[in-house]
Amino acid sequence: MVSATIITTVPKFVSPEEHRNIVQSTPTSFNDIPPVLRHQEVNVSISLDPPLDEFTTEDGTNGVLYVIESALVFMSSTGRGFQIEYPAITLHAISREQESNPSIYCQLDESAGGPPADEGAEDVSNMRELSIAPGNPASLESIFEAMSLCASLHPDPNMSEDDDADDAFVSADQFETFTGEEGEELSEVGRVRSMNNNRYAPY
């Protein structure tokens, strides 16, 4: 199963303020409320390795990143984009290895949503790398924290109850930042699927 889905329109969303207003109005069904947009960043370039079918290098040159509670979305200026559900993002971290082009580095699980792999089986081919480089490097922290918050709403469905009984709430402050300095290696500092099954309460 491919972790990213090609799209031509941005999914519907609401701002945090709009969400609060809708909730306060007591809607008929809370399930019909669109997901909340946690961060929007313009002038973003992305790269995928291996490349995504039907999404070219040109498509990834410039676009808008939407960190929505339901999915991470990139819409290119070419009119083609993709969305990734958070359970497929097994790791995300800030990488400053290239000082001239710092980015958010992500590892995507291509087997997310599929049948569990056999124990001991190698799944190297089931991983895709995503690099998100905003034109404004100062936005990296905000993007990272928004992704961390949204990811906490989508715990690993394969996690056992014993593993997720420790913490009731998740804060973006719990995540470290990868700087690439002093020989520091990129590790699972941004792992996003190790939380609990309780919904994060952002309000």
CATH code: domain of residue 141: 2.30.29.30
Q: Domain of 87? A: 4-9+39-153
pTM for the whole structure: 0.74
The pLDDT of residue 127 is above 60? yes
Residue 133 lies in a domain: yes
pLDDT, mean of residues 88-116: 85
Q: How far apart are CA 134 and CA 142, in angstroms?
A: 11
Query: Does residue 75 carry a pLDDT above 90?
Result: yes
CA atoms within 13 A on the CB side of 10: 20
Closest CA to 105 of 179, 201, 9: 179
Burial class of residue 53 in the structure, from the number of CB atoms within 10 Å of its CB (0-12 exposed, 13-18 middle, 19+ buried): exposed
In a domain, 22, yes or no: no
Residue 42, classed as helix, strand or coil, is strand
Is residue 90 in a domain? Answer: yes
